[in-house]
Structure 1
């Protein structure tokens, strides 16, 4: 059985096969999919999409702390509940164990992004510029220090 993602990619491929404009905005593809009865939301899909949008909104919500820093208002953490990992949300007043898990989760996301960037640049360099590969510095200590100084000045 095809995954939901596979089904979405099939819609994109069918959109292209139908001779619709390409390159296309995602809204164009979505409009075509709905007009051609290729995309209908079940209750579960509606809940899933709503949850995804709520997560995005909570992740983007910032407030100013006492020192005037822009910080997240809501935090997520993968918590083990009844033997399964679930994503829970709390606010800036969360208990320390929750925030420790949240910080570790976010650090792992950053690590994953860095790993993918390394893979991408290594592959590109091997194919396009093996004699002068693109070097990416993954030590962010100086960058963090500079940003901290800018924050103090601002």
Structure 2
């Protein structure tokens, strides 16, 4: 059994004990710890520090010369000589096109995966919900992306001239 499956079993058990309640993961966590269903993993300072550094790198933005807020550090996967895959971060200003393309392609595939799952979840809900509800959703983001190109601040008075 995978670690994820073990964790899912914990909240499934909580759901059985509390039917009709939505999951509040802090409440479930308190119960899981109090009942010994979950124990904290052994602390690895190197892993913890690397995780915090990675989180901070993903959260670093800067304003480019065109005024856009963009991620400064772009993560990409590389393979060590041992065959183990690891993440590295390239600076968007100095990173090579190959590294930045790897990062952007990975993020694009990740976004597509999220959209595919969103659509499956939507279709399943539409087919199976007891309310007969039909949730419609467009997955064409062209208009959304175009709208982001428009200004968000406008002058208070017309320009003179």
TM superposition score normalised by structure 1: 0.71
Counterpart contact for 1:69–1:151, Cα < 8 Å: no
Question: By how many angstroms is 1:55 displaced?
Answer: 2.1
Measured in 1, the distance between the counterparts of 2:76 and 2:122 equals: 30
Query: What corresponds to 1:63 in structure 2?
Result: 62
2:47 is matched with 48
How far residue 117 of structure 1 moved from its aligned partner, in angstroms, is 0.7
CA contact (8 A) 1:79 1:85 kept: yes
Match for residue 148 of structure 2?
147
**In 2: Cα distance, 1:17 partner to 1:32 partner:** 14
The alignment of Structure 1 onto Structure 2 pairs a total of residues equal to 150
Larger Rg belongs to: 2
User: Which residue is 2:159 aligned to?
Assistant: none
How far apart are 1:148 and its partner, in Å?
1.1
Query: Counterparts of 1:94 and 1:30 in 2: how far apart (Å)?
Result: 44
Query: Which structure shows the higher helix fraction?
Result: 1
Equivalent residues in 2 for 1:101-112, closer than 5 Å: 101-112=102-113
Q: Give the alignment's Cα RMSD to 1 decimal.
A: 3.8
Residue of structure 2 in register with 1:124 after alignment:
125
Asked whether the 8 Å contact 1:79–1:86 carries over to 2, the reply is yes
Distance 1:132 1:41 in 2: 42
Secondary structure in 2 aligned to 1:48? helix
Which residue number corresponds to residue 81 of structure 1?
A: 80
Per-residue deviation at 1:129?
Answer: 8.0
Gaps of 5+ in 1: none
